[in-house]
């Protein structure tokens, strides 16, 4: 007979053993985190088990792993900035202990969802990159394409820290400037390739349409490591649309009260091993003058554009694409009587630009494994321009090329980009006076290291060799460093800087404004490369406030350019001194359900330090302010109102340009297949010709002053966008 006390002891021992096994039992949980809207992997999403105080983040493949989970029922929380929190309860052990779950997060309405950046080569999320990059996604480009479908001038000018400077009073040509510096310090890229440089840059932003773009990325400040020393002020990278399995066929028809009309079409589709995109457009504008000057505020323009591309998907590891960009334009401005065929001894002035642009783009990617790949890209560009004025004709042809091979490795903590590129730029004019030739060979390497969840460091270096060399040297070593601090869930900060340089060139805003008349050839042996250093830092705050969501960013910047190239007595020389530009940008966006408000302010202080004297840089307003309010019901209705203030600015002749305010309105109604819209610009009719003269001398031989305010006044455009597929 067994004693009952002994039985009780056995039961207690067995219970203790079973309990200890339950407590000691450990489980491992694995899941992949994705964007429910785009199906893209989310790197850096946070997964927490609050009861166990276990927290981890997803890696570059969106994978998250949590170990040491005891048996029992626990709640998991999945969070990612800009996405709706996901909460789920699991009972451990799971039925299938080897199962990899998948969580799909929905973007929060009105917040910035995941934006994948291509400019840094690593295709990372915007929030994880130490370099400060701004991106205009497809949704915003969709709005801009209805406001001005023929070019990207407005799209660029409405960004803080970026302005467009009109270089011809009668032809409407313009260049882009970043943070108060001349346009030659800014690189304009298409899919990471320099299609618009040198001589071809003068008309570039007036010949690019936003309809075939899916994203625009800005870097303000030195961007030398990956893209060369010319990006002293920064760069603008225009990212083209790529084909999807769902075909797209969009037709846009637009007309304006300023005698303008636009017709464009975009088509794309992807099959198993091949895909294509096609963009074609015709843009017309009749000669238009809302003032009494008798000169064109908008020139007579005829432009044709064709951009076909073919994409090849060989297998899971190899893909590529090839594209051709062509544009022909006849831009004819000047005296309205001359354009109308009524020229006489008094009315003789005209300015005609005939241009033909053709370039090829080639890109190929070989995927080594899930983390590494090799990329090759190439572009060859041809640009032919004839500029005619009374008694003067300037004609030139530019042949340029760019080739690059790079290796990219995206690790869990460290990402690498390394490669080499070759630039060539050859320009010949008919008189062979201003011939220009430059070849640049560069090596670069950049590392992005995520030291902790709250700190990442990006460091890079570039070595360039140029031929023919300037009088100092053709070799430049360009280091660059940027840091990202994720101070809390709501606060992030970036700080960084680097060196840059710009080889001497004929093509800048002054030469363009003078129409290349009487310009002397560039003496490469007596001019030096312009060298620079600069830095910027910002702090960003993002947070929900009740039913609203606010995003605030404050940026500070500084750039120093030594011995900048200037035009003096029709010759290019290095200035005896330097230029500094410093300032701040403030961006605030508030979203409340369907309402969004945006406020942007730019303060720019650009100084010339020549011969011991300090002067203000002309055509650089210290203060610019923008305000935008939008009400939008997704895929149904959009209403927008915007206002811009441009402060007083010094002009080249010593006068001061008046500050002015402009207003605009947009109304757009969307259905499944059709959008109709009406847009009004400059409703206050702020025109320089209303309060100031745009030329001195006579109408027969006008000498044009700086253009610092609009010339076209109130312009209303309306149109229809048909989504056939």
Express each pLDDT in 695-710 by its tens digit.
Answer: 999 999 999 999 999 9
Q: Are strands 260-270 and 248-256 parallel, antiparallel or unpaired?
A: antiparallel
111-115, 390-394, 503-507, 576-580: segment of lowest average pLDDT: 111-115
The confidence band for 471, taking pLDDT boundaries of 50, 70 and 90, is: low
**Summary mean pLDDT of the chain:** 89
pLDDT digits (tens, 9 = 90+) for 372-403: 999 999 999 999 999 999 989 989 999 999 99
Find the helix or strand (DSSP H, E) in which 170 lies.
none
The confidence band for 125, taking pLDDT boundaries of 50, 70 and 90, is: confident
pLDDT digits (tens, 9 = 90+) for 440-451: 999 999 999 999
Q: How far apart are CA 137 and CA 160, in angstroms?
A: 16
Instruction: Give me the pLDDT at residue 20, please.
Output: 47
DSSP 449-464: EE-SSSEEEEEEEEEE
Percent composition of the chain: helix, strand, coil (DSSP 3-state, to 5): 10, 55, 35
Say if CB 149 and CB 210 are below 8 A apart: yes
Instruction: Give me the pLDDT at residue 692, please.
Output: 93
Higher pLDDT, 112 or 649: 649
The confidence band for 25, taking pLDDT boundaries of 50, 70 and 90, is: low
Radius of gyration of the chain (CA): 29
Instruction: Give me the pLDDT at residue 2, please.
Output: 44
Q: How far apart are CA 524 and CA 440, in angstroms?
A: 15
Instruction: Give the DSSP letter of residue 228.
Output: -
The confidence band for 409, taking pLDDT boundaries of 50, 70 and 90, is: very high
pLDDT at 85 over 90: no
Q: How far apart are CA 22 and CA 18, in angstroms?
A: 6
Paired tokens of 2: 């067994």
Residues paired with 478 in a beta bridge: 462
Instruction: Give me the pLDDT at residue 112, please.
Output: 46
Paired tokens of 299: 């020139």
Residue 14 neighbours by CB distance under 10 Å: 10
Burial class (CB in 10 A: 0-12, 13-18, 19+), 398: buried
Instruction: Give me the pLDDT at residue 517, please.
Output: 84
Q: How many residues does the chain have?
A: 725
Instruction: Give me the pLDDT at residue 14, please.
Output: 54
pLDDT at 473 over 90: no
Q: How far apart are CA 445 and CA 443, in angstroms?
A: 7
Q: CA 307, 311, 316 angle in degrees (round to 5)?
A: 160
Burial class (CB in 10 A: 0-12, 13-18, 19+), 405: middle
Residue 414 neighbours by CB distance under 10 Å: 14
The confidence band for 526, taking pLDDT boundaries of 50, 70 and 90, is: confident
Paired tokens of 303: 């432009």
Q: How far apart are CA 515 and CA 531, in angstroms?
A: 27
pLDDT digits (tens, 9 = 90+) for 202-251: 677 888 888 889 999 999 988 877 887 788 999 999 999 999 989 999 99
**Percent of the chain's residues with pLDDT above 70:** 95
Q: How far apart are CA 172 and CA 164, in angstroms?
A: 11
**Percent of the chain's residues with pLDDT above 90:** 63
Q: How far apart are CA 217 and CA 198, in angstroms?
A: 21
Mean pLDDT of 6-23: 51
Closest CA to 188 of 152, 154, 159: 152
pLDDT at 616 over 80: yes
Q: CA 188, 189, 190 angle in degrees (round to 5)?
A: 135
Max CA-CA distance within the chain?
136
DSSP SS3 for 334: strand
- Set out the domains of the chain in order of their start, with CATH numbers: 4-105 (2.60.40.10), 116-723 (2.40.170.20)
pLDDT at 1 over 80: no
Q: How far apart are CA 362 and CA 320, in angstroms?
A: 8
Closest CA to 596 of 550, 538, 562: 550
Q: How far apart are CA 559 and CA 202, in angstroms?
A: 24
Say if CB 710 and CB 662 are below 8 A apart: yes
Sign of CA dihedral 495, 501, 505, 510: positive
Instruction: Give me the pLDDT at residue 344, please.
Output: 94
Instruction: Give me the pLDDT at residue 19, please.
Output: 46
Higher pLDDT, 276 or 74: 276
Instruction: Give me the pLDDT at residue 667, please.
Output: 97
Instruction: Give me the pLDDT at residue 114, please.
Output: 61
Closest CA to 586 of 568, 604, 574: 604
Instruction: Give me the pLDDT at residue 680, please.
Output: 96
Backbone angles phi, psi at 505, to 5 degrees: -150, 155
DSSP SS3 for 194: coil
pLDDT at 9 over 70: no
Instruction: Give the DSSP letter of residue 154.
Output: H
Mean pLDDT of 625-630: 96
Instruction: Give me the pLDDT at residue 110, please.
Output: 44
DSSP 592-659: ETTEEEEEEEEEEEEEEEETTEEEEPTT--SEEEEEEEEEEETTTEEEEEEEEEE--EE-TTS-EEPP
pLDDT at 109 over 80: no
Instruction: Give me the pLDDT at residue 62, please.
Output: 86
Instruction: Give me the pLDDT at residue 108, please.
Output: 63
pLDDT digits (tens, 9 = 90+) for 537-557: 999 999 888 778 899 999 999
Q: Looking at mean pLDDT, say which of 56-60, 190-194, 482-486, 571-575 comes out highest.
A: 482-486
């Amino acid at each position: 007979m067994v004693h009952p006390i002994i039985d009780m002891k056995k039961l207690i021992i067995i219970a203790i053993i079973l309990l200890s096994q339950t407590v000691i039992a450990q489980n491992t949980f694995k899941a992949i985190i994705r964007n429910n809207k785009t199906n893209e992997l989310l790197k850096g999403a946070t997964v927490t088990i609050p009861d166990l105080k276990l927290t981890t983040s997803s890696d570059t493949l969106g994978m998250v792993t949590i170990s040491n989970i005891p048996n029992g029922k626990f709640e998991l929380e999945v969070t990612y900035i800009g996405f709706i929190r996901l909460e789920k309860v699991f009972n451990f052990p799971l039925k299938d202990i080897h199962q990899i779950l998948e969580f799909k997060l929905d973007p929060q309405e009105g917040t910035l969802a995941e934006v994948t950046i291509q400019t840094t080569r690593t295709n990372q999320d915007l929030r994880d990159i130490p370099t400060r990059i701004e991106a205009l996604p497809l949704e915003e480009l969709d709005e801009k394409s209805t406001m001005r479908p023929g070019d990207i001038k407005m799209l660029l000018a409405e960004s803080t820290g970026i302005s467009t400077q009109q270089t011809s009073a009668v032809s409407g040509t313009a260049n882009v400037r970043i943070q108060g510096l001349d346009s030659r310090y800014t690189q304009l890229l298409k899919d990471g390739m320099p299609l618009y440089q040198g001589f071809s840059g003068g008309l570039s932003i007036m010949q690019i349409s936003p309809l075939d773009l899916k994203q625009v990325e800005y870097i303000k400040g030195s961007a030398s490591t990956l893209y060369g020393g010319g990006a002293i002020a920064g760069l603008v990278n225009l990212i083209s649309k790529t084909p999807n399995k769902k075909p797209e066929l969009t037709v846009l028809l637009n007309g304006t009260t300023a005698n303008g009309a636009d017709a464009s079409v975009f088509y794309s589709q992807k099959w198993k091993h091949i895909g294509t995109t096609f963009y074609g457009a015709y843009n017309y504008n009749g000669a238009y003058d809302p003032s009494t000057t008798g000169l064109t505020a908008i020139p007579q323009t005829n432009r044709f554009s064709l951009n076909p591309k073919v994409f090849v998907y060989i297998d899971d590891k190899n893909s590529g694409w090839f594209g051709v960009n062509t544009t022909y334009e006849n831009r004819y401005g000047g005296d309205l009587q001359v354009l109308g065929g009524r020229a006489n001894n008094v009315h003789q002035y005209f300015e005609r630009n005939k241009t033909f642009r053709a370039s090829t783009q080639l890109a190929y990617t070989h995927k080594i494994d899930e983390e590494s790949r090799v990329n090759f890209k190439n572009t060859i560009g041809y640009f032919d321009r004839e500029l005619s004025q009374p008694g003067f004709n300037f004609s030139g042809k530019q042949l340029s090329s760019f080739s690059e091979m790079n290796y990219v490795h995206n690790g869990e903590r460290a990402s690498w980009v390394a490669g080499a590129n070759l630039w060539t730029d050859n320009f010949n004019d008919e008189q062979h006076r201003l011939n220009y030739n430059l070849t640049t060979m560069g090596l670069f390497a950049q590392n992005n290291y995520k030291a902790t969840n709250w700190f990442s460091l990006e460091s890079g270096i570039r070595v360039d060799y140029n031929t023919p060399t300037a009088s100092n040297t053709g070799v430049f070593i360009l280091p660059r460093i940027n840091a990202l601090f994720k101070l809390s869930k709501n606060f992030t900060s970036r700080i960084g800087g680097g060196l840059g340089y710009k080889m001497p060139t004929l093509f800048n805003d002054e030469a363009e404004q003078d129409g290349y008349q009487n310009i002397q050839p560039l003496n490469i042996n007596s001019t030096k490369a312009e060298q620079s250093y600069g830095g910027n830092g910002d702090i960003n705050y993002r947070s929900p406030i009740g039913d609203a969501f606010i995003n605030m960013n404050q940026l500070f910047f500084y750039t120093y350019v030594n011995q900048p190239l200037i035009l003096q007595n029709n010759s290019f020389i290095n200035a005896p001194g330097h230029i500094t530009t410093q300032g701040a940008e403030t961006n605030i966006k508030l979203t409340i359900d369907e309402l969004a408000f945006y406020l942007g302010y730019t303060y720019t202080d650009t100084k010339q330090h020549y011969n011991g004297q300090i002067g203000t840089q002309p055509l650089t307003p210290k203060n610019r302010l923008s305000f935008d309010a939008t009400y939008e019901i997704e895929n149904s209705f959009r209403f927008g109102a915007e206002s811009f203030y441009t402060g007083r600015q010094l002009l080249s002749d010593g006068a001061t340009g008046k500050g002015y305010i402009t207003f605009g309105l947009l109304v757009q109604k969307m259905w499944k297949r059709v959008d109709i819209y009406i847009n009004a610009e400059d409703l206050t009719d702020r025109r320089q010709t209303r309060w100031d003269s745009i030329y001195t001398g006579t109408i027969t031989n006008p000498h044009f002053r700086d253009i610092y305010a609009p010339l076209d006044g109130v312009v209303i455009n309306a149109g229809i966008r048909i989504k056939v597929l």
